[in-house]
């Protein structure tokens, strides 16, 4: 009898499983632009994933509060990936066809980006990777569906080298300097190496590489080596808990934080806030924007979204660095849809393919940006079919123990260094995949 009961439990569980998988197909609503959002609000990288997701969603809510994209409301849905590639792929498959089709995907994970890069061309859905992903995907002729808008790792690394050269008084002064890259041991952390090696060859500085294993809580050996080598600068290419651990170890080994430069994913509040005073003087790249509590768009969000009690996440975090990153990522995809509507009909729901055209033709000049409330936050963006990045501006900000302050002027990634590398690597990819690069004629279609 007892055995039978067990069987019954198992059977009912199986039935529930079968039922549940079929059930949650949400009902498609007409005339809504569907934005699937891949997030991670749990796990090792949650402290950084959460503010990004909050910013992203708040902006979509703001657009809806202002009446949608030319009247088309946005519907959105989150899917938790936990930064794991296979869960990300599952989310993608689950959401790509829902509600009339996904507009775009933004995986916020280099691993998931790589996996989706293979899938997106078949499904005709653009993959936006604002400030991450694979750097060579800037070449839209080969990577037709990837959009590393307003920043790639190569561009970021390039700006860091430029900044240091400026501090030292010119590129020729870099000769013989020692630069150490402390990086997250994953495709993400390894992205900048190619560019830094290129720059090292050009200017004769000494580049040493110190990998840190996921998730990066044990870095004693790394920092002992830094103490021994006494590099002139340390570049930090970390994500999540690795960043704050690095800062704490730097403090413990007495490495000056002023000589540490993080990438834009290592320069936000979660990375420094529990180090506090110990991180004072630490610099990081700002992917155009930093923490922007005074921007007009942030005030709009506070008034029209949080003011109505519809905010996502705590009010105090609105305008923080990663929040802004999510917000800008959302803005860029909304602008892509808006642009696409200009061609394919205002007030209509755009497909993924139409959105791609929009994303390839984004043209936000400073006046438009100011009008949208992004004055002082970012610089103009103009994409094209062959250039999927659209803007190569960045600056440096520094943690003063309480907040991030800008401490440098604008820099622009050097096309002369970046372009050959992008063409070389994307060419190799095209050859391997037997992709015929798009010509300017193809782009007009």
Partner 1 sequence: MSFFIETLLGGLMTGMLYALVALGFVLIYKASGVFNFAQGAMVLFAALAMARFSEWIPGWLGIESLFLANLIAIVLTVVVMFVVAWLVERLALRHLVNQNEATLLMATLGITYVLDGVGQTIFGSDIYKIDVGMPKDPVIMLESMFEGGVLINKEDFIAAAIAAILVAALTLFFQKTPTGRALRAVADDHQAALSVGIPLDRIWVIVWCVAGITALVAGIIWGSKLGVQFSLSTVALRALPVVILGGLTSVPGAIIGGLIIGVGEKLSEVYLGHYVGGGIEIWFAYMLALVFLLFRPQGLFGEKIIDRV
Partner 2 sequence: MLYRENGQFKTTYQADQQIFPIAQDRWGVLLLIAFAFVGVPFLVDEYMFRAILIPFLILSLASLGVNLLVGYCGQITLGAGAFMAVGAYAGYNFLIRVPEMPVLGAILLGGATAAAVGIVFGVPSLRVRGLYLAVATLAAQFFWDWAFLRIKWFTNDSPSGNVSVSNLNVMGFEISSPLSKYIFCLSVLVVFGLAAKNMVRATIGRQWMAIRDMDVAAAVIGIRPMYAKLTAFAVSSFYVGVAGALWGFVHLGSWEPAAFSVDRSFQLLFMVIIGGLGSIMGSFFGAAFIVILPIFLNQFLPVLGALFGMEISTATVSHAEITIFGALIVFFLIVEPHGLARLWSTGKEKLRLWPFPH
Identify which of residues 434 and 444 has a Cβ nearer to partner 2 in the complex: 434
Q: List the structure tokens of 86.
A: 């296979």
Shortest distance in whole angstroms from residue 370 CB to partner 1: 34
Q: What are phi and psi of 318, to 5 degrees?
A: -65, 130
Site size with partner 1, rule: CB under 8 A: 39
Applying CB under 8 A, among 252, 303, 371, 424 the residue interacting with partner 1 is 252
- Which residues between 181 and 200 bind partner 1 (CB under 8 A)? 185
Write the burial class of residue 115 (CB in 10 Å: 0-12 exposed, 13-18 middle, 19+ buried).
Answer: middle
Q: Is 253 in the site for partner 1 (CB under 8 A)?
A: yes
Q: Min. distance of Cβ 373 from partner 1 in angstroms?
A: 28
Site residues for partner 1, 33-52, by CB under 8 A, read 41-44, 46-47, 50
Instruction: Verify binding: residue 36, partner 2, rule CB under 8 A.
Output: no
Distance of closest approach, residue 276 Cβ to partner 1, in angstroms: 8
Q: Which stretch binds partner 2 (CB under 8 A): 252-260, 341-349, 412-420, 431-439?
A: 431-439
Of positions 15, 28, 71, 118, contacts partner 2 by CB under 8 A: 118
Q: Which of 134/257 has CB closer to partner 2? A: 134
Q: Which of partner 2, partner 1, none does 303 bind, CB closer than 5 to 8 A by kind? A: none
Residue 6 interacts, among partner 1, partner 2, none and using kind-specific CB cut-offs from 5 to 8 Å, with partner 2
Task: Report how far residue 70's alpha carbon sits from residue 330's, in angstroms, rounded to the nearest whole number.
Answer: 16
Burial class (CB in 10 A: 0-12, 13-18, 19+), 340: buried
227 is a contact residue toward partner 1 (CB under 8 A): yes
Does position 50 interact with partner 2 (CB under 8 A)? The reply is yes
Contact between 211 and partner 1 by CB under 8 A: the answer reads yes
Q: Given the complex with partner 2, which of 208 and 361 has the nearer CB atom? A: 208
Binding flag, residue 437, partner 2 (CB under 8 A) = no
Beta bridge partners of 35: 76
- Choose from partner 1, partner 2, none: what does 400 bind? Cβ within 5-8 Å by kind: none
Q: Which does 90 bind (CB under 5 to 8 A by kind): partner 1, partner 2, none?
A: partner 2
Candidate residues 225, 351, 361, 412; the one interacting with partner 1 per rule CB under 8 A: 225
Asked whether position 306 contacts partner 2 by CB under 8 A, the answer is no
**Taking Cα atoms as reference points, which of 411, 444, 443, 437 lies closest to residue 422?**
437
108 and 340 Cβ atoms separated by less than 8 Å: no
Does residue number 15 form part of the binding site for partner 2 (CB under 8 A)? no
Which residue from 175, 343, 402, 433 is in contact with partner 2, where contact means CB under 8 A?
Answer: 433
SS (H, E, C) the chain: CHHHHHHHHHHHHHHHHHHHHHCCCCCCCCCEEEEEEEECCCCCCHHHHHHHHHHHHHHHHHHHHCCCECCEEEEEEEEECCCCHHHHHHHHHHHCCHHHCCCCECCCCHHHHHHHHHHHHHHCCCEECCCCCCHHHHECCCCCCEECCCCCHHHHHHHHHHHHHHHHCCHHHHCCCEEEEEEECCHHHHCCHHHHHHHHHHHCCEEEEEEECCCCCCCHHHHHHHHHHCCCEEEEECCCHHHHHHHHHHHHHCCCHHHEEECHHHCCHHHHCCCHHHHCCCEEEECCCCCCCCCHHHHHHHHHCHHHCCCCCCHHHCCCHHHHHHHHHHHHHHHHHHHHHHHHCCCCCCCHHHHHHHHHCCEECHHHHHHHCCCCCCCCEECCCCECCCCCEEEEEEECCCCEEECCCCEECCHHHHHHHHHHHHHHHHHHHCCCCCCHHHHHC
Q: How many residues lie near partner 2 (CB under 8 A)? A: 54
Question: Which is closer to partner 1, CB of 173 or CB of 190?
Answer: 190
Q: How far is the CB of 250 from partner 1 (least distance, A)?
A: 10
Measured from the CB of residue 72, what is the shortest distance to partner 1 in angstroms?
Answer: 34
Choose the binding region for partner 2 from 93-101, 254-262, 269-277, 341-349 (rule: CB under 8 A). Answer: 93-101
CB of 18 to partner 1, least distance (A): 23
Distances (CA, A) of 359 to 17, 120, 156, 344, 385: 40, 15, 21, 13, 9
- Contact call for residue 267 and partner 1 (CB under 8 A): no
Applying CB under 8 A, which residues contact partner 2? 3-4, 6-7, 9-10, 16-17, 20-21, 23-24, 39, 41-42, 46, 50, 53, 78-80, 82, 84-86, 89-90, 93-94, 97, 110-111, 114-115, 117-119, 122, 134, 185-188, 190-191, 193-194, 211, 213-214, 425, 432-434
Binding site for partner 1 (CB under 8 A): 41-44, 46-47, 50, 185, 208-213, 215-218, 220-222, 224-225, 227-228, 240-241, 244-245, 248, 251-254, 270, 273-275, 278
């Amino acid at each position: 009898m007892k055995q039978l009961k067990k069987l019954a439990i198992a059977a009912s569980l199986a039935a529930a499983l079968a039922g549940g998988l079929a059930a949650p197909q949400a009902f498609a609503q007409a005339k809504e632009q569907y934005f699937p959002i891949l997030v991670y609000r749990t796990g090792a990288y949650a402290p950084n994933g959460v503010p990004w997701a909050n910013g992203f969603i708040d902006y979509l809510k703001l657009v809806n509060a202002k009446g949608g994209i030319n009247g088309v409301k946005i519907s959105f849905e989150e899917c938790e990936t936990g930064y794991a590639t296979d869960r990300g792929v599952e989310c993608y498959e689950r959401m790509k066809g829902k509600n009339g089709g996904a507009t775009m995907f933004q995986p916020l994970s280099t691993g998931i980006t790589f996996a989706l890069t293979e899938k997106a061309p078949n499904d005709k859905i653009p993959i936006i990777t604002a400030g991450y992903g694979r750097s060579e995907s800037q070449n839209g002729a080969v990577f037709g569906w990837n959009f590393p808008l307003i920043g790639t790792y190569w561009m970021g690394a390039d700006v860091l080298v430029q900044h240091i050269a400026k501090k030292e008084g010119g590129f020729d002064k870099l000769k013989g300097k020692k630069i150490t890259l402390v990086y997250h041991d994953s495709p993400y952390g390894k992205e900048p190496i190619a560019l830094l090696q290129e720059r090292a060859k050009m200017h004769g500085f000494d580049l040493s590489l110190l990998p840190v294993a996921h998730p990066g809580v044990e870095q004693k050996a790394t920092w002992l080596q830094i103490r021994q080598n006494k590099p002139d600068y340390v570049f930090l290419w970390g994500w999540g808990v690795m960043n704050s651990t690095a800062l704490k170890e730097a403090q413990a080994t007495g490495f000056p934080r002023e000589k540490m430069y993080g990438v834009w994913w290592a320069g936000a509040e979660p990375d420094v806030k529990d180090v506090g005073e110990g991180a004072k003087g630490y610099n990081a790249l700002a992917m155009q924007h930093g923490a922007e509590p005074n921007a007009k768009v942030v005030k709009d969000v506070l008034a029209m979204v949080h003011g109505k009690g519809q905010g996502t996440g705590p009010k105090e975090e609105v305008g923080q660095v990663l929040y802004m990153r999510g917000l800008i990522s959302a803005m860029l995809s909304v602008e892509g849809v808006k642009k696409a509507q200009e061609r394919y009909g205002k007030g209509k729901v755009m497909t993924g393919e139409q959105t791609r055209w929009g994303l390839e033709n984004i043209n936000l000049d400073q006046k438009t940006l100011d009008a949208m409330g992004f004055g002082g936050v970012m610089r103009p963006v103009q994409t094209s079919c062959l250039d999927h990045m659209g803007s190569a501006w960045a600056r440096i900000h520094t943690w003063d123990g309480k907040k991030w302050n800008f401490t440098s002027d604008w820099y622009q990634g050097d096309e002369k260094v970046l372009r050959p590398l992008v063409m070389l690597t994307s060419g190799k990819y095209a050859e391997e995949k037997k992709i015929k690069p798009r010509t300017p004629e193809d782009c007009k279609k």
